[in-house]
Every structure is written in structure tokens, then in C-alpha cells.
Amino acid sequence: MMDRILFQDTTLRDGDQTPGVNFSVSQKEELARLLEDAGVDFIEAGFPAASPGDFKAVQSIAAALKHAGVTALARANEKDIEAARDALCGAAHPRIHVFLALSDLHLKEKLNLSREDALDAIDRSVRLARNYCDDVEFSAEDATRADRAFLAQAFRRAAEAGASVLNVPDTVGVSTPAEFADLITYLKNADGLRGKCFSVHCHNDLGLAVSNTLSGLAAGAQMAECTINGIGERAGNASLEQIAMALKVKRETYRKEFALDTKKLLNLSKTVSALSGVPVSPTAPIVGANAFAHESGIHQHGILKNRKTYQIIDPEDLGLKETSLVLGKLSGRHAFSEKARELGFSLEKEQLEEAFAAFLQLADRKKIVRDDEVEAILEDQRDARILSEGFHLTAFQIQSNSGGMASADITLSKKGKTLRDAATGTGPIEAAFHTVDRIVDRKVVLDAYRIRAVTEGTDALGVVQVKIRYQEQSFTGRGVSLDIIEASIKAYINAINRALFFTEAGK
């Protein structure tokens, strides 16, 4: 008999804590819908007390989802729990997730709480959460560095107060698989905790998050908390796709079943990467561009005879067609356009022809063209299209004075048409960006601006990178010039061209 385990995805909460990542409300809604569609059991949608944006995201996800549970995080205090309750009102399957750190280090240094006070806080906060919601999860933050007997006592208090799920986080990613399994076994057998539902939540500081999660599940935990692509604080969380595929490929070892549709993992990974701006390493397991690529001649030979020689994962489990994996010089237009579609590109006939010609040139030199190489060809093609369809800087003139105000006069061109305007701003860059805004006639928000010199000296080449927001999505642009104002205008136009292409012209 197989045990059924649950997935609680926390991409929208712990993943949103990845340095540099800040999903917008609409991006969170989109991801939540995809996660639900993939069959994820619970979606941790955010931390409502943390910010109005988080509150709004949890609220709208709670209202939108029908099948998946929606979880909202709260510290063990009234204000947080009430914010979670308010944000979850309207959810079909709400869950309040209360957490409190329980290691002596955290209790003393971070919270200045005695163990007794912590037990009281657990009791009070879980009871309060239960007044508002039938499903309450309690997490013992930094559980792997807490005193075991005290941890068991704390979980007992949480269970007695009505918590339905007891989560054991390896908050700082310090555990090993054997230690973690041992901890779960200890807790599951502790007095008053037999038969309780345990969850595991592992961070990846030592690269062991997935292994620790699998060990926790093997030891009897019933739920895994994880993120798509393993994004999250510091080195991230356990990756959902790796856990799911390990359970699937090693089914006879783990003997666990789950509801998640693994065919949806690649699209989830791509979407999270695109919306978070965190790239997936080509060598990442399961979702990396090379996960099904075979470089050495010996491997290629084996694979062409029988996939199992060097490939333990059945590509069909990820929704990939077995035959579509290997492209070579004998692959025709049809196979190439299938591959383009599979990689998420929809190019027009002409662009596809050009990309196919570039592919053939490469395929002539190599026996097999890997997916990441095909992707690079298609991206080149798309960038060329963005460039040909977008705005170009033709001329500019800036005047600034010692009072700080500046004015800009800029000429752009688009598809042979000349567009000129002028505007002012505090400083030359602001004046230039205001002028570009007027010309492109769109509401764009500048989120980040970074400038650096590539070389030293007064003739240094300046590289400007900007991040803009358009229609709730983020886009980046880069400009290079000896003149930093020119580099800035180019970067800004570049980001706007990408924004318009992706939001108005399709991929």
C-alpha cells in the first residue's frame, strides 16, 4: 500500500522572500492558478500582515481558487492571525499557518522569550486561529536546532490547542538526511503526537533540502513544503519538481503517492523563472535545459538505441515527447517548429524559417543540438524581432542647470516613423525618461536603475541596467555607451521594447 502525501507550495511566500524577487499581485494570481491546475494540494499565498500587497494577493487568491487549499502565514500574535483570517475570508479551503521560533538561540536572541512563555504563546495563538479557521498549521521555526524534548512538548501544546498540521522546518538548512529522518521518527513517536500529521519544510544552505525532505517523508511526514525551482531565502527551499520526480522515479523505494500532475512541472518552472527573473541553471535537475541533453558521443549513441541507457526519467512524465528530445541535422522544419512550441515560443513563419536556417548551420557541425542551444537560437530570433519592431534612439539633446532641473529633447524612430518630443525633470536622466514616456505614450514605472563603468578613466564605457514595471510585470533593459545619458536612454527604451513585445505582441 502506498501512502498519499500532500504538497504545500510556498513559492508565493517563501519564494517571494528570494533576494531581488517581488512578485506582483497579478503575477501571484497567475502562479496560484497554475499551481492549482497542476494539482498542488495547498498553496501558501503569502504573509498578510507583512504588507498590503501580500494581504491583497492572499485575498484575491483565496477568492479565486476552488480546489487547492490556500494558506496564509502569521506570527504567533493576534494582529497577524487576524490579518490572515481577513485575507482568507472567501477561501473555499482556508488554512492559517502560525509560526514561532523554538530553538533556544532564537528564543533568547531574537524573541527574548522563555520556553514557558513560548508554550503559552503557542497555546493562545493556535486557539485564536482555530476560532477563525478549522485548518491551522503550526510551525516550529528553527526546529532542527531546538531541544528535542521541548520541541515535542511544543508540538503537543499546538495539537491540543487544535493545530491539524505540525510543521518541522529546517529553517537554516543545517540538518542532514539521517538526522532529519531521526527527528521526524522521534516526534512521530513522542507522547501525545502519535498519529498526528507532520509536515517538513527544508532550506537548502548545504544543498540537502530535497534529500532532507525525502528523508522526512520516508520517516512518516505527510506533507512536503517546497517551492518551484527551489527559490527562497538564501540558498532557497526544497524544490517541488525534484521532490515530485524523485518520488515518482523511486516509487518502489519511497512508496508515496501524490495528486500533482508532473506534466505541468516544466511550464511552472518556466513561468516562475520568467516572473521572478531568477534563471534556471542549465544543469538543474528535471527542469534545467540540459536535463535531457546528452553531450558525449557514447551517451548519444546509447540514448538513440535505448533511452534507458543514460536517462532515468521518462520524458513523458514531464509532458515531453520522447522523439522530440533529440534534434540533429536530419531534423526537419516540422520537428524544429514542434520543438520551438514545446520550448514555449510562438514565432511567425518567417522568423521560424530564419531560426531554422541558424539551427541547420549548427546541426551541420554537431550530431545533436541540445535544447538550450535551440532555445538560444530562438531567443536570438525573438530579440531581433523585438529590436526590429521596437523604438530606436535617433538623436537627443539634454540641457541641465545648476538648480537641478533639466530638459530633454529626444527623437526616436519606430518602423521608419520619426517621433520627437521634449520634457523636463529633476536631473538629466529623469528629463530623458519623461520624454521617452511621452513619446511611447505608455504608463511605465521605473523600479531600478544601475550604472557601472566597464573600463577605467574618463573615456570609460558606461553600462546602464534598468528595471521597469508595465501592466504589473517587470522587464529589464540594458544600454551601453561612452555617454551615460545615451546608455540610460538606450536601456530604458530597450526595457520598454521588451515590455511592449511581451504584453502586446505575444512571445
The residues that touch ligand KIV, with contacts defined as CB under 6 A, are 14, 99, 139, 141, 167, 169, 171, 201, 203
Name the residue among 507, 207, 193, 223 with its Cα closest to residue 379: 507
Residue nearest Zn ion (C-beta atom): 14
The minimum distance between CB 222 and ligand KIV, in angstroms, equals 16
Grid cell listed for 115: 520556553
* Interface positions, 220-239, toward Zn ion (CB under 5 A): none
Looking at the Cβ atoms of 16 and 430, the one nearer to ligand KIV is: 16
Contact between 29 and Zn ion by CB under 5 A: the answer reads no
Please state, in angstroms and rounded to a whole number, the distance separating the CA atoms of residues 165 and 155.
10
Contact between 16 and Zn ion by CB under 5 A: the answer reads no
DSSP secondary structure string for all residues of 161-222? TT-SEEEEEETTS---HHHHHHHHHHHHHSTTTTT-EEEEEEB-TTS-HHHHHHHHHHTT--
Please state, in angstroms and rounded to a whole number, the distance separating the CA atoms of residues 314 and 323.
12
| Binding region for Zn ion (CB under 5 A) out of 6-14, 79-87, 377-385, 432-440 | 6-14
* Number of residues lying near Zn ion (CB under 5 A): 1
- Torsion, Cα of 339, 342, 345, 347 (10° steps): 50
The minimum distance between CB 167 and ligand KIV, in angstroms, equals 6
Contact between 170 and Zn ion by CB under 5 A: the answer reads no
DSSP secondary structure string for all residues of 418-433? EEEEEEEEESHHHHHH
Contact 60, 29 (CB under 8 A): yes
The minimum distance between CB 202 and ligand KIV, in angstroms, equals 8
Partner interacting with residue 99 (select from ligand KIV, Zn ion, none; CB below 5-8 Å by kind):
ligand KIV
Partner interacting with residue 44 (select from ligand KIV, Zn ion, none; CB below 5-8 Å by kind):
none
Partner interacting with residue 125 (select from Zn ion, ligand KIV, none; CB below 5-8 Å by kind):
none
Looking at the Cβ atoms of 167 and 435, the one nearer to ligand KIV is: 167
State how beta strands 136-141 and 165-170 pair: parallel
Partner interacting with residue 139 (select from ligand KIV, Zn ion, none; CB below 5-8 Å by kind):
ligand KIV
Contact 290, 372 (CB under 8 A): yes
The minimum distance between CB 142 and ligand KIV, in angstroms, equals 7
Residue 270 main-chain phi, psi, to 5 deg: -60, -45
Looking at the Cβ atoms of 14 and 373, the one nearer to Zn ion is: 14
Looking at the Cβ atoms of 203 and 248, the one nearer to Zn ion is: 203
Instruction: Provide the 10 A C-beta neighbour count for residue 460.
Output: 13
The minimum distance between CB 9 and Zn ion, in angstroms, equals 12
Contact 495, 465 (CB under 8 A): no
| Binding region for Zn ion (CB under 5 A) out of 11-19, 286-294, 301-309, 464-472 | 11-19
Looking at the Cβ atoms of 83 and 320, the one nearer to ligand KIV is: 83
Looking at the Cβ atoms of 139 and 215, the one nearer to ligand KIV is: 139
State how beta strands 391-400 and 405-414 pair: antiparallel
Please state, in angstroms and rounded to a whole number, the distance separating the CA atoms of residues 62 and 155.
27
Contact 132, 81 (CB under 8 A): yes
Instruction: Provide the 10 A C-beta neighbour count for residue 287.
Output: 24
Looking at the Cβ atoms of 10 and 381, the one nearer to ligand KIV is: 10
Partner interacting with residue 382 (select from Zn ion, ligand KIV, none; CB below 5-8 Å by kind):
none
Partner interacting with residue 396 (select from Zn ion, ligand KIV, none; CB below 5-8 Å by kind):
none
Contact between 14 and Zn ion by CB under 5 A: the answer reads yes
The minimum distance between CB 141 and Zn ion, in angstroms, equals 8
- Torsion, Cα of 422, 428, 429, 435 (10° steps): 0
The minimum distance between CB 13 and ligand KIV, in angstroms, equals 8
Partner interacting with residue 373 (select from Zn ion, ligand KIV, none; CB below 5-8 Å by kind):
none
Residue 457 main-chain phi, psi, to 5 deg: 100, 180
Looking at the Cβ atoms of 102 and 406, the one nearer to ligand KIV is: 102
Looking at the Cβ atoms of 205 and 421, the one nearer to ligand KIV is: 205
Buried b or exposed e, range 373-385, using 16+ CB within 10 angstroms: bbbebbeebbeeb
Looking at the Cβ atoms of 141 and 430, the one nearer to ligand KIV is: 141
The minimum distance between CB 84 and ligand KIV, in angstroms, equals 13
Can you give the binding site for Zn ion, defined by CB under 5 A?
Answer: 14
